[in-house]
Amino acid sequence: MRKTWLIFSQAVTVSLALLFVIATLKPDWLQRRPLGVAVATVTQPAAGPIQPVAIYPAAVGPGSYAAAAKRAAPAVVSVITSKTPHLNHPRADDPWFRYFFGDQESPAQSGIGSGVIVSADGFVLTNNHVVDHMDDIDVQLADGRRAKAEVIGTDPESDLAVLRVKLDKLPAVSFGNSDALQVGDVVLAIGNPFGVGQTVTAGIVSALGRNQLGINTFENFIQTDAAINPGNSGGALIDASGNLMGINTAIYSRSGGNLGIGFAIPVSTARQVMDGLIKEGQVTRGWIGVEPRDLTPEIAETFNLKVSQGVLITGVLQGGPASQSGLRPGDVVVKVADTAVGNTAQLLNAVSMLKPRTQARLGVQRGASEIDVQVIVGQRPKAAPRQPVDAR
């Protein structure tokens, strides 16, 4: 036993001595390195000694969205616009006129928004208010290339526009399924806020189907708390896999900056508008010619209606599709085809999705009776442009 203890004590003494020597001469050998860090030796110029360099691998854990950003960011572009000043008076270029009345030129306008390349053919999806009334439109890619853009078509009612640039080897975004989004899903907003350059912000889906905001005629917004600021208009809202889920359009703000409430047009809507603009130069929507009003509990009680949700028809255009089908003021529309409608925005969206010159079924509550009304859908007339809450 005594001999064993002696051997143990000698081994401890030698170990401590060795540890002391290493700590004195090679202290870096004893430094702790974080897990996942590889150390490699690289050759530096002859003037300096060879030093160990720590190489930290890219994070691959669930907390990083680098892969999604890397996949989608090359397809997000800056849209740079300008408007040439024009004379407000036919004699504004006369020196005597200018002497007495001053310079009558309208000031030049310029702006910076964002856009998303949706095909390798050069089609770019952006907001209508980014390019509206602009004479000169340039698109600048994330790789630094810049080119003039041609306006293929615009749709003020959804605040969308399609541009085209002629460049080779264009990266295109991958479309996702915005109908599958749920509140709480992680989303990233990519754009060019304040013109500082491409920026990626992260957040979650705060709400779905936002409408009656007074931004567009057709509203079905994705609400997100991902930071969206002026300059983000027309940029991409993507999911955690890098798929396009929406086009960033507007912000709720009292200061002009982000307050955590941003709105994006779902890609399902954007894609339908884009296809119409590319193929026909316009968006064709259904129309039935009614004046709708949200059905409130007070109205339902006043008119002794048997339904609590739907859209009350307060007026029918004489000779319009609804009038010819037998729809009357006082009817409550509860369904369009197989889509339930609970307010005027939902009715407007559902009818607009119908193809003109086709027959559609409306589920109607008329007094105490539930009836179906067959209507031949008309084509929606063009409306005047609306001014959105600008996130450009």
Average pLDDT over every residue of 29-36: 49
Q: Are 355 and 340 in contact (CB under 8 A)?
A: no
Q: Which residue has the higher pLDDT, 188 or 37?
A: 188
Q: Which residue has the higher pLDDT, 377 or 281?
A: 377
Q: Which residue has the higher pLDDT, 229 or 124?
A: 124
* Residue position matching structure tokens 């998303």: 116
* Residue position matching structure tokens 């306008």: 109
Supply the pLDDT for residue 13.
75
- Active site (catalytic) residues: 129, 159, 233
In the predicted structure, residue 199 carries a pLDDT above the cut 60: yes
Pairing of strands 290-294, 136-140: unpaired
Judged by DSSP in three states, 68 sits in helix
For the stretch 215-258, pLDDT in tens is 888 888 999 999 988 889 999 999 999 999 999 998 887 776 77
List the domains of the chain with CATH numbers: 69-280 (2.40.10.120), 289-376 (2.30.42.10)
Distance of CA 143 to the CA centre of its chain: 21
In the predicted structure, residue 31 carries a pLDDT above the cut 50: yes
* Residue position matching structure tokens 């390798």: 120
In the predicted structure, residue 291 carries a pLDDT above the cut 50: yes
In the predicted structure, residue 43 carries a pLDDT above the cut 90: no
The helix (H) or strand (E) run that includes residue 321 is: helix 321-325
Closest CA to 205 of 182, 237, 228: 182
Supply the pLDDT for residue 260.
81
Supply the pLDDT for residue 39.
32
- The reported pTM is 0.71
Supply the pLDDT for residue 54.
43
DSSP code at position 322: H
DSSP code at position 95: H
Mean pLDDT of the chain: 81
> What CA–CA distance (Å, rounded) separates 232 from 252?
13
Judged by DSSP in three states, 161 sits in strand
The helix (H) or strand (E) run that includes residue 6 is: helix 2-25
For the stretch 293-333, pLDDT in tens is 988 888 888 877 778 788 999 999 998 999 999 999 989 99
Closest CA to 283 of 295, 292, 275, 293: 275
Burial 232-253 (b: 16+ CB within 10 A, else e): bbbbbbbbeebbbbbbbbbbbb
The helix (H) or strand (E) run that includes residue 131 is: helix 128-131
CB atoms within 10 A of CB 201: 19
Structure tokens at 7: 């051997």
> What CA–CA distance (Å, rounded) separates 159 from 125?
11
